[in-house]
Structure 1
């Protein structure tokens, strides 16, 4: 069985879990448990893809995972056949064999966890990437760009240790700092860590923002546990609270509440989070220390540090040159630009987008160096100056498209198809003889994303 075959089998398992066929009602929990365990092993397959043949142990683990997935697929097929034929005659119960497969999976998982553990403390066999499984039933996982987490490793390890520590009571962990410091990026890095994926039965991520609606937060968390239906959307806030509490009860869960501005958002929700003394955790990100202190009983806060000059330069290089390296004639001015960003990741990423999209000449880089304000750190409100710098250098045809995002609420999920249709209706898209308006609009969007 290949990696793609494992993916196909996982997709089939998910369809089986979601189907309403009463014939497999009693085996549904076993199938769901199998899916969750194989999903974790699939992350390992993805993480080891580039260098699995360099380490004999990793190569053997990959082979074992493929074999056990193939064995599980045969048993599941037998289970379905048994369910269909149960009224015809006696059939051997394949669910007994499934227990044996689960034991094999647990044995493999123990070895995989050992590799991930060593990776966390820089004695790894693998250079593990943050993985994202869009089909996961356990969480709506935010994507994290590995390039943007430079300088966060030590803080991430501390937070992971708190999340997975021995404390059994429900614990609230706060990440605080000014805008652009990397709070959300740090939280994403931790959230997507393979050990965290394995440790928690349920993970959920929802955005709160300055102007929040309790209903949106509840739906965001519930969608991490089950698929939202029309019936759920019609429920009152009180019913949604009851449903969320019921779904989380008895499970070890991790919920991230990103970008909290007002303690009222936490007070509206706190009673809906059950405390079953099983090691569940809630993570806050906030710009406001007083909000975090009110929500965090132990008063222990995590604050991402400003990047050092070396870290700033490394991040700028990776964003501008991707896999390449900086030409020697731009090295000094590039380091000056990185230094002028004051260690603020957002400023570095925005400026890097500006440099990457223009011709890489010393004159242009000198202009950028003069424009980047070195006082950005001393006045937290001045981080917007960097965004203004980037906007001012946008091509004219992209400025209207960029500003149009302001028509949507903060942290709102925007359908690409809807956005493109609106841009076209507003007349923002230039006609192109070689491409349709929709294709041109997609090019505009990708250009903005790359910046």
Structure 2
């Protein structure tokens, strides 16, 4: 009986005495094997990390936001690997007793316990690496950039007053649609941006959205702008489908402000996808328009405020803010008159003051004279004259040409206000585009300038005339003089310029194809027969065989043609006509 009791106790003694002793002894004597095990686990963990990292980097380059659990895991892995490497280094540099003949069991024991604990951490991290690679990041909503206020000029009392009235109305639960109306160029868009800035700054709404409508509204574009601000991707093809998707997203927000700038006619918010009225009582809309009746009658605003022109004192204050120092008495007297000519319209004041900043007195006098020409005309004429004055004061012809190119190509996209956009196009119709002495690698974009009438590449390094030139059906003058690098003019390009009156190509292209070749890649002189309005021609013809019969029309008034080494000019042409008529 006693023996049985003793035998029953022995396993317990072994379990609670010898097993712990054995485990603790293993820390001291099996340190090397534990370190090797840790090294293997760390290597596997590195492989998992390196497999995930490229997907994270790609998502970051796309601008996506990495989920916190993924980012935290990567951070923990880097820390664990660093700490594990330190332990491995410590094991390799462990100290020994008695000149290295006997291991230092105490240090090995402590190190072995650290290694085992770190190995457990590594194992846990490996277990957590079960990420779906398609769900490691998300597209964040765009950050709303809030520019500083432009109403920081204390003299602009009328603008500050209107802004306060609008913000008070937006705070009032009784109002859900508010508007501002006024002349083109009076500052409605600037006010709309101020309202947006103030609403975000004061945290009046959960979401503040803004879009430009314009005279010819593009619903898809407005929907896209709103979706971008929400971080929403619209994959639907139809406007109705996109509207439904936007509505679903906006219904998730409690308080919404939607700013629609430049309204010209009735626009139903529902068609854009904006839940409004009974559909979403937390949604408010702020509108701007040139006409009060569009706001109150067509859109149904509960309150509309008129934005008038600046007072004389306000106009002068804004003018001085932009133009700078006008303390010189002679300059100040002219500047005062120039500011008055701007009719209190901020767009004119800012444009004129910017154009005349740091200019000499003579240029100020010229500007005053130009502005005085439209004293008896309407506000719109003043806008046109002022903006054209600004264009004329650009620093160089190259800058003017670049401006015209941008204005022509992007006239439907640049958000500079309908009034300004109209003026840019108007200036383009009166002007010409020149790329004289330029190095051009790709001029194909020129094909977008459908209204262009004058185009010059004189002395440029252009090598191939773009096919898109054929789209310039209103072109009246084309100058390719001294373009000695020009080797290719695609066939049937020049022949499509049916309104062309002047063509200059001396010391330029000479690779004319012979008429009748079926595989011609370059233009032939026969194409000139289609230019029935051509009155002036200057070209090089390397070989007389390239000249087709009956090439020139009766409308040709002057020419300068080099055939081989012989030159035929305008005065000889007159002489021959006189001899024939005699």
What interval of TM-score do these two structures reach, taking the shorter chain for normalisation?
0.5 to 0.7
CA 271–234 in structure 1, closer or farther in 2 if over 3 Å, else same: closer
Deviation of 1:392 after TM superposition, in Å, equals: 3.0
Alignment of 1:44-193 (within 5 A): 137=141, 140-141=144-145, 143=147, 146=150, 150-151=156-157, 152-167=159-174, 171-193=176-198
Deviations 1:196-253 (A, max 9, x none): 551111111111111222111111111111154xxx2454322211111111114211
Deviation of 1:307 after TM superposition, in Å, equals: 0.7
Deviation of 1:181 after TM superposition, in Å, equals: 0.5
Aligned to 2:219: 214
Secondary structure at the counterpart of residue 359 of structure 1 = coil
Secondary structure at the counterpart of residue 300 of structure 2 = coil
> Which has the bigger relative contact order, CA under 8 A and spacing at least 6?
1
Distance in 2 of aligned mates of 1:244 and 1:425:
35
Aligned to 1:389: 389
Secondary structure at the counterpart of residue 225 of structure 2 = helix
Q: Which has the higher helix share?
A: 1
Aligned to 2:248: 246
Aligned to 2:360: 360
Structure 1, 375-384 or 345-354: larger mean CA deviation = 375-384
Distance in 2 of aligned mates of 1:299 and 1:377:
37
Deviation of 1:161 after TM superposition, in Å, equals: 0.8
Secondary structure at the counterpart of residue 199 of structure 1 = coil
Deviations 1:36-82 (A, max 9, x none): xxxxxxxxxxxxxxxxxxxxxxxxxxxxxxxxxxxxxxxxxxxxx9x
Q: Which runs of 5+ in 2 are unaligned?
A: 1-58, 72-120, 129-138, 417-439, 447-454, 461-582
Q: Which has the higher strand share?
A: 2
Query: Normalising by the residue count of structure 1, what TM-score does the alignment of the two structures yield?
Result: 0.57
Work out whether 1:301 is the aligned partner of 2:304. Answer: yes
Deviation of 1:155 after TM superposition, in Å, equals: 0.5
Asked whether the equivalents of residues 293 and 299 of structure 1 are also in contact (C-alpha less than 8 Å), the reply is: yes
Query: Considering only aligned residues, what root-mean-square deviation do their CA atoms show, in Å?
Result: 4.2
Aligned to 1:371: 370
1:259 to 262, 287, 292: 262
Q: Which has the larger radius of gyration?
A: 2
Distance in 1 of aligned mates of 2:227 and 2:240:
13
Distance in 2 of aligned mates of 1:278 and 1:206:
21
Deviation of 1:139 after TM superposition, in Å, equals: 5.8
Alignment of 1:215-230 (within 5 A): 215-228=220-233
Deviations 1:143-180 (A, max 9, x none): 5662797441110011111112233x6x1111111110
Structure 1, 397-406 or 194-203: larger mean CA deviation = 194-203
CA 175–277 in structure 1, closer or farther in 2 if over 3 Å, else same: same
Distance in 2 of aligned mates of 1:333 and 1:304:
28
Asked whether the equivalents of residues 138 and 201 of structure 1 are also in contact (C-alpha less than 8 Å), the reply is: no
Aligned to 1:5: none
Secondary structure at the counterpart of residue 313 of structure 1 = helix
Aligned to 1:399: 400
Asked whether the equivalents of residues 265 and 298 of structure 2 are also in contact (C-alpha less than 8 Å), the reply is: no
Aligned to 1:203: 208
Asked whether the equivalents of residues 172 and 295 of structure 1 are also in contact (C-alpha less than 8 Å), the reply is: no
1:282 to 257, 265, 285: 285
Distance in 2 of aligned mates of 1:288 and 1:20:
47
Asked whether the equivalents of residues 64 and 140 of structure 2 are also in contact (C-alpha less than 8 Å), the reply is: no
Q: Which runs of 5+ in 1 are unaligned?
A: 1-13, 26-80, 89-134, 415-419, 433-451
